[in-house]
Amino acid sequence: MKIAQVGEEVLRTPARQVEQVEFEQEALFTFMDGLLATMLEANGIGIAAPQVFDPRAIMIIASRPNPRYPDAPDMQPLMMVNPVIKQSSDNQVWEWEGCLSVPGLRGRIERPDWVDVAYLDTEGKVQNIKLEGFVARIFLHEFDHLIGKTWLDHITSTKNIMANDVWVTKFT
């Protein structure tokens, strides 16, 4: 699948909810498999459907050490459909983020250090989970894509933007 790049309208368009009837259609599962394959091929640790030009509220969080995030914790990919933030930490944490849709740049932004989330799993069943630290950041980053935002919308100063090659030299 082609990954949308910053400036493309799909990244500014809020995603639509997946209807329960779609969980009965093979096309949904074929799409989810393709979304995961696209994320893995791009060395991503998360991806949202709008990033591949699909308007549905579907995302994957999949923290794992890789060339872009060598210190990331390891977890199995988690497919989340129609996620909703139920609660988030008042404590905010500054950290650098990159994005498959904003190639070549990193941004230092502030996000809550934990979130409680409700979502539908791949069977269409409601699940609840508390995500903390780096995994919460991944979720919030991908959730932004579902509401028509990117990390660029959180930048408070241009001093918080860095070329990825410079970031790698300084922080890895």
Binding residues for Fe cation: 99, 141, 145
**Binding-site annotation, residues:** 99, 141, 145
Contact (CB, 8 A) for 6 and 101 = yes
H or E stretch covering 86: strand 78-88
DSSP 28-40: HHHHHHHHHHHHH
What gap in Å lies between CA 18 and CA 6, rounded to an integer?
A: 24
Distances (CA, A) of 109 to 16, 79, 91, 154: 26, 24, 13, 6
What gap in Å lies between CA 123 and CA 46, rounded to an integer?
A: 20
Tell me if residue 47 falls in helix, strand or coil. strand
26 is catalytic: no
Q: Nearest CA to 77 among 56, 65, 97, 63?
A: 63
Point out the residues that are catalytic.
142
